[in-house]
């Protein structure tokens, strides 16, 4: 049964990932996610159904438009595959539970935020607002042994810390990141929010150093922080208690 559910969620993740790409690439531009139909951004060729199969269409076309041969962004298959793998991870980690549903929501948010922030350096308010009601409802129904105050404090602490950074950095930190960490704090609580920030900062710093060493970025070149926050959030959500427990054991 576990295998069947995993296969179903993998297929569902591929399909949802395709939609998440549309959301991530259109919403920041103020465009509808329904119309117009998907088309090549270079020649305007409207994509047929056979050109919209997640991952497979990209592989068969060798990453190029079938009409004009212009390259197709690898963000498309990457987003689809990431959603599929994260959907399976959420199920294997938490099962068919409220915690698993929160995991699916965080996985979905991670894909949208990552694609949008990489492409536009923006995290749209509309996306964050869309995820607020279901995350809030699930936390009200399943607080996971914690008080509601802990999740409220998570939103305040997460958003507050990054708001302070944004004010002190004078534009070095975007308000989208501030609101994103506040939303993450609402879902994970204050410990999860701070762990998310710590892990995201480590991951972002490591990625920045790698890019500098490979001379693919400049010292003051802006870098999207949203993807690293979401990476930190997923790790904190899935393994945060174990990480915090292991850290505290060092002082005993």
Q: How far apart are CA 16 and CA 28, in angstroms?
A: 19
Q: Quick one: average pLDDT of 227-244? A: 95
Give 219's pLDDT tier (boundaries 50, 70, 90): low
Q: Write down the H helix ranges in the chain.
A: 2-26, 56-60, 75-94, 98-120, 125-141, 148-169, 175-213, 226-249
CA-CA distances (angstroms) from residue 203 to 11, 150, 226, 228, 248? 29, 26, 11, 6, 22
Report the chain's mean pLDDT, rounded to a whole number: 91
- Look-up of token digits 């958003």: 159
d(CA 192, CA 187): 8
How many other CB atoms are found less than 10 A from the CB of residue 152? 15
Give dist(CA 235, CA 222) in Å, integer: 24
Whether residue 203 contacts residue 233, with contact meaning beta carbons closer than 8 Å, is answered with no
pLDDT band at 136 (very low <50, low <70, confident <90, very high): very high
Question: By percentage, how much of the chain surpasses pLDDT 90?
Answer: 68
Whether 8 contacts 75, CB under 8 Å: no
């Amino acid at each position: 049964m576990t295998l069947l559910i995993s296969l179903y969620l993998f297929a569902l993740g591929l399909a949802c990932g395709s939609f998440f790409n549309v959301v991530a690439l259109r919403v920041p531009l103020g465009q509808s996610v329904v119309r117009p139909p998907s088309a090549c951004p270079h020649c305007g060729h409207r994509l047929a159904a056979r050109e919209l199969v997640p991952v497979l269409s990209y592989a068969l076309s060798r990453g190029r438009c079938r009409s004009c041969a212009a390259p197709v962004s690898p963000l498309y298959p990457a987003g689809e595959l990431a959603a599929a793998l994260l959907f399976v991870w959420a199920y294997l980690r938490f099962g068919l539970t409220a915690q698993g549903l929160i995991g699916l929501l965080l996985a979905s948010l991670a894909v949208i935020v990552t694609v949008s922030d990489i492409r536009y350096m923006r995290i749209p308010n509309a996306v964050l607002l869309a995820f607020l009601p279901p995350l809030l409802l699930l936390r009200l129904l399943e607080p996971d042994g914690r008080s509601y105050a802990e999740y409220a404090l998570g939103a305040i602490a997460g958003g507050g810390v990054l708001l302070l950074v944004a004010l002190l950095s004078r534009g070095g930190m975007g308000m989208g990141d501030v609101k994103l960490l506040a939303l993450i704090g609402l879902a994970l609580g204050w410990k999860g929010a701070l762990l998310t920030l710590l892990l995201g900062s480590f991951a972002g710093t490591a990625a920045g150093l790698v890019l500098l060493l490979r001379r693919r970025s400049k010292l003051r070149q802006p870098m999207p922080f949203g993807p690293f926050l979401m990476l930190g959030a997923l790790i904190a959500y899935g393994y945060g208690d174990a990480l915090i427990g292991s850290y505290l054991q060092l002082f005993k």
